[in-house]
Amino acid sequence: MLLSLTDEFRRIRCLRHEDVPVLMAWDDDPDLFQLTGKKFRRDDNQKDWWNHLVRDRSRLMFGIVNDGGRLIGDVELLQILWRAGEAEIRISIGDKSCWNRGYGTQALQEAVVAAFHFLSLHRVYLRVRVDNPRAIRSYEKVGFRAVARLQATGRLAGYADLRLMEITRAHYLPMVARA
């Protein structure tokens, strides 16, 4: 699913078809793979992947841009459960020269606003490796709180444990109003 955003959104924008080759190139980065896993399967072709994304109502993806408007990463709401009003979120800044410059935190803040205001969700959660302090710090700055520690299983077996973090609409909106 895609969503066009209003002008107040500066750090995220609607994903475009021409972004897909850039996302695919980042997917091959071994550092990113360690931290986020892969978005694309080996047999995915760009056109099918895009058509599937556009039609899939359980996921919504945005591009992340730097101050010059260049695509530097992506943030996605996935596993959207409309009746339960919840979704998982994942983020990846593929351009590593743009890490630690506040972009990830700003993109997450905007994606959470989109989730609560436009999609009317009540809860957004994420999973992060316990040995990824940059991501954890960024999530804490947005207002995510740790709720559980999960043992890595399946594809992730043997890797670091995961921290489950969440933010709720009831917690977030008063926080934004105070800021």
To ligand COA, the closest distance from the beta carbon of 106 in angstroms equals: 7
Residues 6+ apart with CB under 8 A from 11: 64, 65, 103, 106, 107, 109, 110
Q: Which is nearer to ligand COA, 138 or 172 (CB)?
A: 138
Q: Which is nearer to ligand COA, 134 or 145 (CB)?
A: 134
To ligand COA, the closest distance from the beta carbon of 83 in angstroms equals: 26
Residues 6+ apart with CB under 8 A from 76: 59, 60, 61, 62, 89, 90, 91
Q: Which residues bind ligand COA (CB under 6 A)?
A: 32, 35-36, 73, 91-93, 99-105, 128, 132-135, 137-138
Q: Which is nearer to ligand COA, 77 or 128 (CB)?
A: 128
Q: Which is nearer to ligand COA, 49 or 99 (CB)?
A: 99
Q: Which is nearer to ligand COA, 93 or 115 (CB)?
A: 93
To ligand COA, the closest distance from the beta carbon of 37 in angstroms equals: 9
Q: Is 45 helix (H, G, I), strand (E, B) or coil?
A: coil
Q: Would you give the DSSP letter of residue 84?
A: T
Please spell the DSSP secondary structure of 47-77, one letter per residue: HHHHHHHHH-TT-EEEEEE-TTS-EEEEEEE
Q: Is 15 helix (H, G, I), strand (E, B) or coil?
A: coil
SS (H, E, C) 135-176: HHHHHHHHCCEEEEEECCCHHHCCCCCEEEEEEEHHHHHHHH
Residue closest to ligand COA, measured at CB: 104
To ligand COA, the closest distance from the beta carbon of 145 in angstroms equals: 15
To ligand COA, the closest distance from the beta carbon of 152 in angstroms equals: 13
